[in-house]
Amino acid sequence: MAGEIPDLNATVRTGTGKGAARQARRDGLVPGIVYGGGEDPVAINIPYNVLFKKLKAGRFLATLYNLKVDGHDDVRVICRNVQRDVVKDLPTHLDLMRLKRTSKIALYIPVEIVGEDDCPGITQGGVLTMVRPEVELVVTAGDIPEKVIVSIAGMEIGDTATISMVDLPSGAKPTIDRDFVIANIQAPSGLASASDDEDEDAVDADEVPTAGDEEAAAEGGEE
């Protein structure tokens, strides 16, 4: 399961509208809104440097945060949108949604591969190809898995690991309603090239006329 939920500190934004938002940006803050959870929306500001670092670290839209705002109870939130400047591509506004522990939400969860030492396909020179380094799951906000573990132990070259082979955490299910591929073991490039050459040689051999074919062609020409 996921570890401790990280904090996200913010302050209440006094005033609303474009004027207050522009002033916040001039003060080195990014304006935002917190909504949902059966409560009224709250206008907030988050320090630009704090938000920028979290965005740069990645997975900001897939991370559950403990929002701390002075004068308000801590609440779990997830970011649903980050607006950016069309020219500079820098954050200008964000939307945070409140979540209860029992809330269901779709998140991308990273995949961890195990069992490589016991994978015949790998020991024979095969190449592990990650088709989906993360999978989208519907999970409970209070029980978000840190990762999805996929074992490739016993897999041969040409085998695939699919979502049906994974023991998902209780209450979690894929958003895609089919058995999709997560990873596969491909033949090494040299072996694949050799196989392609053999196929081409076989085709060429089929196209070479036999002696009987040549005689038949000659007789047809004499007529």
pLDDT in tens, 124-170: 999 999 999 999 999 988 788 888 999 999 999 999 999 999 998 88
Pairing of strands 29-35, 181-186: unpaired
Q: Within this chain, do residues 83 and 160 fall inside the same structural domain, yes or no? A: no
Q: Within this chain, do residues 95 and 122 fall inside the same structural domain, yes or no? A: no
* 91 domain residue, yes or no: yes
Q: pLDDT category, 210, cuts 50, 70, 90?
A: low
Evaluate if residue 194 carries a pLDDT over 80: no
Please state, in angstroms and as integers, the Cα–Cα distance from residue 3 to each residue in 64, 142, 144, 197, following that order. 11, 11, 9, 51
Q: What is the CATH number of the domain that holds 136?
A: 2.170.120.20
pLDDT tens digits for range 35-84 = 998 889 999 999 999 999 999 988 888 788 999 998 888 899 999 999 99
pTM of the model: 0.63
Q: Within this chain, do residues 13 and 94 fall inside the same structural domain, yes or no? A: yes
- The pLDDT value recorded for residue 137 is 94
Evaluate if residue 29 carries a pLDDT over 50: yes
CB contact at 8 A, 119 and 157: no
Number of domains the chain is built from: 3
- Nearest alpha-carbon partner for 167 in 194, 141, 137, 198: 137
Query: What is the chain's mean pLDDT, rounded?
Result: 84
* 2 domain residue, yes or no: no
Instruction: Show which of 49, 66, 99 is a domain's final residue.
Output: 99
* 11 domain residue, yes or no: yes
Q: Within this chain, do residues 87 and 165 fall inside the same structural domain, yes or no? A: no
**How many other C-beta atoms can be found within 10 angstroms of the C-beta atom of residue 105?**
16
Range of the domain at 21: 7-99
Instruction: Show which of 65, 80, 99 is a domain's final residue.
Output: 99
Q: Within this chain, do residues 122 and 174 fall inside the same structural domain, yes or no? A: yes
Instruction: Show which of 77, 99, 121 is a domain's final residue.
Output: 99
Q: Within this chain, do residues 83 and 118 fall inside the same structural domain, yes or no? A: no
- The pLDDT value recorded for residue 207 is 54
Q: Within this chain, do residues 11 and 37 fall inside the same structural domain, yes or no? A: yes
Q: Within this chain, do residues 47 and 15 fall inside the same structural domain, yes or no? A: yes
Q: Within this chain, do residues 15 and 95 fall inside the same structural domain, yes or no? A: yes
Q: Within this chain, do residues 146 and 211 fall inside the same structural domain, yes or no? A: no
Q: Within this chain, do residues 61 and 114 fall inside the same structural domain, yes or no? A: no
* 27 domain residue, yes or no: yes
Q: Within this chain, do residues 16 and 91 fall inside the same structural domain, yes or no? A: yes
CA–CA gap between residue 37 and residue 16 (Å, rounded): 21
CA–CA gap between residue 22 and residue 13 (Å, rounded): 12
- The pLDDT value recorded for residue 212 is 53
Q: What is the CATH number of the domain that holds 39?
A: 2.40.240.10
